[in-house]
Amino acid sequence: MDNYKREDLLSLLPYKPAKEKEVIRLHANESPYDLPEDLKEAIFERVRKENFNFYYDPSCDELKEALSSYLGVEPEKIFVGSGADEIIYDIALAYAGPGREVIIPVPSFSSYEIFSAVSGAKVIRVPLLLDEGPEGCIWKLDLPKIKSHFKKDEPQVMFLCNPNNPTGDYFNDSDIFELLEDFNGIVAVDEAYFEFGGKTLINMISQFPNLVIIRTFSKVFSLAGLRIGYAVAEENIIEEFYKVKPPYNVSLFSQIAAVEVLKRMDWVEDVKEKIIRAREDLKAKLKKLPGVTVYPSSTNFLLCKFDMPRDVVHQKLLEKGILVRKPEGKEVENMLRISVGTAEQNELLVKAFEDILK
Ligand SMILES: Cc1ncc(COP(=O)(O)O)c(C=O)c1O
């Protein structure tokens, strides 16, 4: 059977989600807040009236209308997928593929590499630069290195995560514009964490017709379990995604839930405010601990560097019932990525750290 396997995928490792039970989940950058009961009820009430035996809207029209109002973008420029993950997959399938190259500044979100490789494309990883200057720690794009891989006569794809997972903050605006200007191909800017930082390039899609914005309902909208993401781009880019997507990729439950959550922006705003407040509070407390460096964040997680080996810190936290993430990559090898939880969870985390690091 091994003969039947794709040779180019032999060394690819599948994504390994953590499966720990009964822990405080600070490893997956989820929202710590589930939907309130009345909002769940509004979703169930609508779902109950639907025919489960029929396929549901393959183009997600009601959700695109709702997103159009939220974003101030025409529905034709919006494409909905089963999580931002599927959007990344569709970008790779539609615009990368065999014989093409995908440029990815690293460390970053692992799906870019996995789905690019699965599409058959060649992945080019360009390490970020860390500037530990007087203004704090800033992760920067290595513009000359990235540009050295540009091919003027062959279309390529580039993924930029902004703010970046796992480093936590935005890249320099002018660096991104420079790349958008010079690149011969699709630039996918992943704004999964947009709501926690507030900066977006959505309003630039007409100026840069090669720009695709990626967003998700898994973070501030608290719907990670229902798998909803979307892309925003000019229509002639979006058209290509419809060619590669599975026909009924977003379930009726997920489409309805997303529409109903968008009707409750007061609740979403409240979640956002609570998470941002908790992030700043957690950051201040972690910074006071001995041997810990905390990087700037415009997301719902904090990247921290430790004087102690990170495996030890990770394991000791786990023994205390707290799961955090060991991000992959040489650049972040003694760091942990910690999702911001509720105020109570964060308090337990700080207490655990005080114990471990003393
Ligand atoms: C940068 C980034 N993009 C995309 C995703 C995946 O989002 P989704 O749950 O919508 O697939 C994540 C998840 O953590 C992420 O960090």
Distance 85 CA to ligand 1 centre (A): 6
Q: Which amino acid residue places its CA nearest to atom 2 of ligand 1?
A: 192
Angle among Cα 154, 155, 158 to the nearest 5 degrees reads 130
Measure the CA–CA gap between 258 and 279, rounded to whole angstroms.
Answer: 25
**Which pLDDT value is given to residue 22?**
80
Which numbered atom of ligand 1 lies nearest the CA of 108? 1
Shared domain check, 289 and 252? no
Shared domain check, 123 and 56? yes
**DSSP 8-state code for residue 294:** E
Is 9 inside any structural domain?
no
Q: Residue type at 84?
A: A
Shared domain check, 271 and 252? no
Instruction: Please state whether 29 falls in left (phi above 0), alpha (psi between -120 and 50) or beta.
Output: left
Shared domain check, 175 and 119? yes
Shared domain check, 221 and 177? yes
Residue of 281, 159, 162, 264 lying closest to 220 (CA atoms): 264
**Which pLDDT value is given to residue 298?**
97
Ligand 1 pocket at CB < 6 A = 29, 83-85, 109, 161, 165, 190, 192, 216, 218, 224, 229
Distance 80 CA to ligand 1 centre (A): 14
Is 4 inside any structural domain?
no
By the 8 A CB rule, do 166 and 324 touch? no
Domain that holds residue 160: 37-262
Is 272 inside any structural domain?
yes
**Domain endpoint, select from 208, 232, 262:** 262
**Which pLDDT value is given to residue 275?**
98
Shared domain check, 204 and 321? no
Is 129 inside any structural domain?
yes
Is 352 inside any structural domain?
yes
Distance 79 CA to ligand 1 centre (A): 16
By the 8 A CB rule, do 100 and 157 touch? yes
Which numbered atom of ligand 1 lies nearest the CA of 87? 11
Distance 300 CA to ligand 1 centre (A): 12
**Which pLDDT value is given to residue 142?**
97
Residue pointed to by tokens 């514009």: 177
**Domain endpoint, select from 241, 262, 283:** 262
Long-range Cβ contacts of 104-107 (<8 Å, 24+ apart): 104/158, 104/159, 105/141, 105/142, 105/146, 105/160, 105/164, 106/329, 106/331, 107/166, 107/167, 107/327, 107/328, 107/329, 107/331, 107/332
**Which pLDDT value is given to residue 13?**
86
Shared domain check, 304 and 173? no
* Per-residue H/E/C for 237-291: HHHHHHHHCCCCCCCHHHHHHHHHHHCCHHHHHHHHHHHHHHHHHHHHHHHCCCC
Instruction: Please tell me the total count of domains within the chain.
Output: 2
Q: Residue type at 149?
A: H
**Which pLDDT value is given to residue 309?**
95
**Which pLDDT value is given to residue 135?**
63
Distance 358 CA to ligand 1 centre (A): 34
- The stretches of 79-190 forming alpha helices (DSSP H) are 83-95, 111-119, 143-148, 173-182
**Which pLDDT value is given to residue 52?**
97
**Which pLDDT value is given to residue 226?**
98
By the 8 A CB rule, do 198 and 189 touch? no
Which numbered atom of ligand 1 lies nearest the CA of 85? 11
Which numbered atom of ligand 1 lies nearest the CA of 88? 4
Is 216 inside any structural domain?
yes
Q: Output the domain CATH number for residue 68.
A: 3.40.640.10
Per-position pLDDT tens, the chain of length 358? 888 999 999 999 888 777 777 899 999 999 999 999 999 999 999 999 999 999 999 999 999 999 999 999 999 999 999 999 999 999 999 999 999 999 999 999 999 999 999 999 999 999 999 987 766 678 999 999 999 999 999 999 999 999 999 999 999 999 999 999 999 999 999 999 999 999 999 999 999 999 999 999 999 999 999 999 999 999 999 999 999 999 999 999 999 999 999 999 999 999 999 999 999 999 999 999 999 999 999 999 999 999 999 999 999 999 999 999 999 999 999 999 999 999 999 999 999 999 998 8
**Domain endpoint, select from 235, 262, 289:** 262
Pocket test for ligand 1, best of 89, 113, 159, 165 (most atoms within 8 A of CB): 165
Measure the CA–CA gap between 195 and 221, rounded to whole angstroms.
Answer: 9
Is 10 inside any structural domain?
no
Shared domain check, 276 and 190? no
Which numbered atom of ligand 1 lies nearest the CA of 164? 1
Q: Output the domain CATH number for residue 351.
A: 3.90.1150.10
Shared domain check, 288 and 227? no
Bridge partners for 306 per DSSP: 292
Is 203 inside any structural domain?
yes
Shared domain check, 303 and 243? no
Shared domain check, 191 and 176? yes
Shared domain check, 238 and 154? yes
Distance 113 CA to ligand 1 centre (A): 13
Distance 192 CA to ligand 1 centre (A): 6
